[in-house]
Structure 1
Amino acid sequence: MSKTKRVASVLLVSAVLSSTITACSSSNPKDPLSGQSTQKDGATTSTTYPIQTDKKLSYWAEIPSTLVGVKPNFAEVPFVQEWQKQTGVKLNFSSPVANQAKEGLNVMLASGDLPDLIEYNWMQFPGGPEKAINDGYILKLNDLIDKYAPNLKKYLKEHPEVDKMVKTDSGSYYGFPFLRGDDFLRVYQGPVIRQDWLDELGLQAPTTIDEWHDVLKAFKEKKGATAPLSFQSLPRAFEQIYNGAFIGAFGIHRLFYLDNNQVKFGPAQPEYKQFMATFRQWYQEGLLDKNIASTDGKNIDANLASGATGATVGNAGGGIGKWMPLLTVKNPKANLVGVQYPVLKKGDTPKFGQKDYPYSFQGMVAISAGSQNAELAVRMLDYGYSEQGHMLFNFGTPGVSYNLDNGYPKYTDILFKNPDKLAPSQAFSLYTKANYFGPFVQDKRYIEQYYTIPQQKDAVTVWQKTDADKYTLPPITATPEESTELAKIMTDINTLVDEMTLKIILGSDSVDNFDKYMEKMKGLKLERALQIQQAALERYNKR
């Protein structure tokens, strides 16, 4: 394929919206990863680390948000330095502008000058990962993994349900995946509320939409909260409820979801009108943040710290773990807790809620098709799935970020009482990969220590109580042709949905115009999008 055609392919369409939330999960310590082999396993060749080589690999990846402002580039991150030392492979890093990974990738692909390794969510590539292979951007890795990645190969063989997720319908492996090895830690996000305010007002934790309305009204009238409920709305408006918070109470999802093995699109359902009508009422009553359409993480931090906000949606680690110190420094009695995803009928189990699959689309490291060092790249990346690499990615360097205590890797004070006054999330990202993404399997023992206060662990227990497994789409992939068509359709549809949602909730359009928007949505080929997703689901089920 010519460079001109490749450029057009990349720039013509944007990716299908996919939920991405920073995750915290783990590998089960009772199911250890394989160590380094010193023998050949069939056609697979073992690797002895550190590798003796003078070659250097170029590596493109987005810098974690927790390192922005802490280190200017990956070269100065202790984990990265140790990774190179243990593998014996020097890495030359480059990164896109923060929060602009997709745009940065498009520019890089258009230039034709690609690094050896590209860490990206390849499910967001226009046309999907299979098209990225077919267009000559990244390699199909089946033979390379079979020959030079014994650790990853062994893990996938022992976990067929994961193996099914990390390849395309045609069976192509396209990268080295970030995996969650423990079911418990697939959940890390949900509704959060000021328990101390509830106690002071004599209120119970809300479970239904009606109870939420009454609680938020009390927060406004009796606690002086100017933004009783607020949550992050970037990069897309209302994005932080896409996992099911509040909108899930109406039995729908903001994205595609499953209903009796049929793919549906939430905003096209009549229940979406109910959701918008409810939030419109809350907005008019001053129960929602007046800036809800553009609120970012810094706004949430400030609102919670000042007492403007009493409820939000956040993570256990980077949310509750960050906000509790902000609150208790001013008010030692302040208490943030996780609460159940809202429902309409008291006693019902929430239909939706955040729960990721063991395979995360984020952090998938592909090898560019033009790399002259593909074998070396595979051997280096396979280190993350070895026993020694598993320890490095999850716990860092022994004697520095952890020590073994009766065989248990216990983190040191450099992470929780950092001498440079870094927050634990920042320190973890300096010395490990455990609280971010990358080519490895996260370990449960990481999260057991990362959650340092009871409110975090209790929140996860509460947020787990949903039926999300029944209704969440698995990591399906459309064909390259279908993916390109789907991306174009969904770009138009999501633009329409965002416009409709903002206008109706913020009051510039009537909720009675919902049917008109539905007609527009049909004209944008929604039915074709549903057909593509349904076909992809059926192919996935046959993998």
Structure 2
Amino acid sequence: MRGSRITAVIALLLSAALLLSACDRSDAVPLAGYSQGDAMPEQQTGSGKGAGAGLLADTGGIGSYPIRTGKTLTYWAELNGNAASIKPSFEDIPFFREWQKRTGVKLQFIQPPANQAKEAMNVLLASGELPDMIEYEWASFPGGPEKAIKDGYILRLNEAIDRYAPNLKKYLGGHPEIDKQVKTADGSYYVFPFIQGDDRLRTYQGPVIRKDWLDELGLPVPATIDEWHTALKGFKEKKGVQAPLTFLGVPSPLFGIENGAFVGAFGIKKGFYLDQGEVKFGPLEPGYKQFLALFRKWYEEGLLDRNIATVDTKTLDSNMISGRSGASIWNAGAGIGTWQPIVQERDPNARFVAAPYPVLNKGDRPKFGQRTNLYTGSGGVAISSKSGNVEEAVRMLDYGYSPEGHLFFNFGLENISYTMVDGYPTYTDLILRNPDRLAPSQALAMYNRASYFGPFVQDVRYLEQYYVLPEQKEATRIWSDTDADSHLLPPVPKTERESAELSAIMMDVTTLVDEMSLKIILGIEPVDACDAYVAQLKALHIDRAIEIQEKALERYNRM
């Protein structure tokens, strides 16, 4: 299996490297204003306008809540990391308790270990004992979601949505571009989707660097590869920083650069992208060899984290907060918004700022950067084909697309986590200035799902308040200043046969790309090994994978 092969390769390549021990987190603190044993207060929902406007008004009958049922449904999902850092299980999170109360549907949660969702899913499917609802990246299921339907794992939702989900049906009817993204090529709805409801929500990640260290060294915020080299070298040699640049290497090697940071300076991405309407695969292009040569040099100079393939989010936080690292590729919220308040407690001058996506030549506009589609394919909730509680599951999931559910999923509990101010749902101090010293990202994860995925439409008004630091607001402006939109491959629906063939090809291709990339960066293989490895990619039928993507794109454009 791909996971075991990658694990073995990482162990081999990094056996001589020193691994950083991540800092232990302190015990979770209680949430101010809400005790685990308290009953939820009755809510006044308010009506607000803005991104939530245009959702279907509550209807009588099938659209009414709470549902009268004595059943308990099962729900499989991985707990978000920000929530898990405070409370260990879904049952302890106020949002999930209130969701059950509002919809009238009781849930029994099945929670896989952190960062092991794919492995746990394989075990779950093999067992045949499937829960009623499964929150998972079904768009990336081997063979595609249509195969998951035909193999009897999840339900084709078309009829169920027509009968029991008036809110989602209304939303998709008013957004035809999103509607065609959330179906398979055979026209099957397969999840209650997570949808980003505003263009401003689509960019939230990019390069981050310690501005106070740059000022100390008399250096500008880097924009070019050469300026980055100078800054990282300065951190290493003059500040004594152990791992100047750190980024995620989990769940896959080089995961942190997949949106285009550094690799994009050479005119390519690590995966599929569009170039003047033509589908391309970055590791086939000459620019990928140039990128690997750069990172090999930086690794030799000690500018990259020595644990490049094993950095997870906990280690990343530790690196940046402790000063072991001075630059990364991460989010405005979970990165800048989390790190800066903590570091400034001991060093008031500390300041994390966004840097542009790197380019080769001063003044060039970045070709790539982090940019999502309005439907990302992540965070959707499917219903098991074996569920005997389809109506209850559908009606519960449809709640997130109702006006009341929209406010709840994005803002939480009125008069607790938000109040209505002139029709605008405004977060309270419980979220933005938490008395228990929770970061906003952690407090949000307790009371709503706005800062991560789920069965709802994300509201831009969450973002307008979530980014409380001026550095966060500036970050999204800087990171958005790219040509990423013109190179973004939409989530094109594929047939079951196309998905199965593409999955089989890409499993081997991705393994080879990750293995060879690490070997070259770590100096185990020469840079010129890229030439032979490109030939291997072709032998693994990468050209056929590109052809499948192109055919699916052509079909998508005709829809």
The CA deviation at 1:69 is 4.5
* 1:49 equivalent in alignment to 2:65: yes
* 1:37 equivalent in alignment to 2:28: no
The CA deviation at 1:219 is 2.0
8 Å contact 1:28–1:182 — kept in the other structure?
Answer: no
Provide the residue aligned with 2:370 in structure 1: 354
Instruction: For residue 346 of structure 2, give the secondary structure of its aligned residue in structure 1.
Output: coil
Provide the residue aligned with 1:312 in structure 2: 328
Q: Out of 493, 513, 531, which is 2:529 matched to?
A: 513
- TM, length-normalised to structure 2: 0.89
Partners in 2 of 1:193 and 1:69 — Cα distance?
24
Q: Out of 98, 111, 129, which is 2:145 matched to?
A: 129
Q: Which amino acid aligns with 2:266?
A: F
Q: Out of 395, 398, 406, which is 2:411 matched to?
A: 395
CA deviation map 1:485-509 (0-9, x unaligned): 2222111111111111111111111
CA deviation map 1:279-307 (0-9, x unaligned): 11111122222222322233333332333
Provide the residue aligned with 2:344 in structure 1: 328
Instruction: For residue 403 of structure 1, give the secondary structure of its aligned residue in structure 2.
Output: strand
Q: Out of 196, 202, 205, which is 2:221 matched to?
A: 205
CA deviation map 1:77-116 (0-9, x unaligned): 1111111111111112111111111111111111111111
The CA deviation at 1:148 is 1.7
8 Å contact 2:2–2:511 — kept in the other structure?
Answer: no
Q: Out of 357, 362, 385, which is 1:341 matched to?
A: 357
Q: Out of 93, 118, 133, which is 1:117 matched to?
A: 133
Q: Which amino acid aligns with 2:230?
A: D
Q: Which amino acid aligns with 1:495?
A: T
The CA deviation at 1:30 is 6.7
Partners in 1 of 2:324 and 2:105 — Cα distance?
50
8 Å contact 1:13–1:487 — kept in the other structure?
Answer: no
Instruction: For residue 360 of structure 1, give the secondary structure of its aligned residue in structure 2.
Output: coil
Identity of aligned residues (%): 59
The CA deviation at 1:33 is 1.9
Structure 1 runs of 4+ off > 4 angstroms? 11-14
Instruction: For residue 290 of structure 2, give the secondary structure of its aligned residue in structure 1.
Output: helix
Q: Which amino acid aligns with 2:59?
A: S
- Which residues of structure 1 form unaligned runs of 5+? 1-10, 15-26, 39-44
Q: Which amino acid aligns with 2:216?
A: E
What is the number of residues matched between the two proteins?
Answer: 515
- Which residues of structure 2 form unaligned runs of 5+? 5-48
Partners in 2 of 1:423 and 1:229 — Cα distance?
24
Partners in 2 of 1:482 and 1:317 — Cα distance?
37
* 1:291 equivalent in alignment to 2:291: no
Provide the residue aligned with 2:539 in structure 1: 523
* 1:380 equivalent in alignment to 2:380: no
Partners in 1 of 2:246 and 2:544 — Cα distance?
35
Partners in 1 of 2:352 and 2:296 — Cα distance?
26
8 Å contact 1:230–1:312 — kept in the other structure?
Answer: yes
Q: Which amino acid aligns with 1:360?
A: T
For the structure 1 residues 197 and 494, does the alpha-carbon distance in structure 2 shift closer, same or farther, using more than 3 Å as the test?
Answer: same
Instruction: For residue 534 of structure 1, give the secondary structure of its aligned residue in structure 2.
Output: helix
Partners in 1 of 2:291 and 2:85 — Cα distance?
38
The CA deviation at 1:539 is 1.8
Partners in 1 of 2:512 and 2:51 — Cα distance?
46
CA deviation map 1:366-421 (0-9, x unaligned): 11111112122211211110111111111111122111122221222222343444
Partners in 1 of 2:242 and 2:135 — Cα distance?
41
Instruction: For residue 312 of structure 1, give the secondary structure of its aligned residue in structure 2.
Output: strand
* 1:457-476 matched pairs, under 5 angstroms: 457-476=473-492
Instruction: For residue 302 of structure 1, give the secondary structure of its aligned residue in structure 2.
Output: helix
8 Å contact 1:225–1:310 — kept in the other structure?
Answer: yes
Provide the residue aligned with 2:250 in structure 1: 234
- Kindly report the root-mean-square deviation, in angstroms, between the aligned alpha carbons of the 2 structures: 1.8
CA deviation map 1:122-145 (0-9, x unaligned): 012111101111111111111221
Instruction: For residue 236 of structure 1, give the secondary structure of its aligned residue in structure 2.
Output: coil
* 1:430 equivalent in alignment to 2:446: yes
Instruction: For residue 167 of structure 2, give the secondary structure of its aligned residue in structure 1.
Output: helix
For the structure 1 residues 12 and 185, does the alpha-carbon distance in structure 2 shift closer, same or farther, using more than 3 Å as the test?
Answer: closer
Provide the residue aligned with 2:504 in structure 1: 488
Q: Which amino acid aligns with 1:382?
A: D
Partners in 2 of 1:244 and 1:473 — Cα distance?
14
* 1:267 equivalent in alignment to 2:288: no
- TM, length-normalised to structure 1: 0.91
Provide the residue aligned with 1:106 in structure 2: 122
Partners in 1 of 2:235 and 2:436 — Cα distance?
37
Instruction: For residue 394 of structure 2, give the secondary structure of its aligned residue in structure 1.
Output: helix
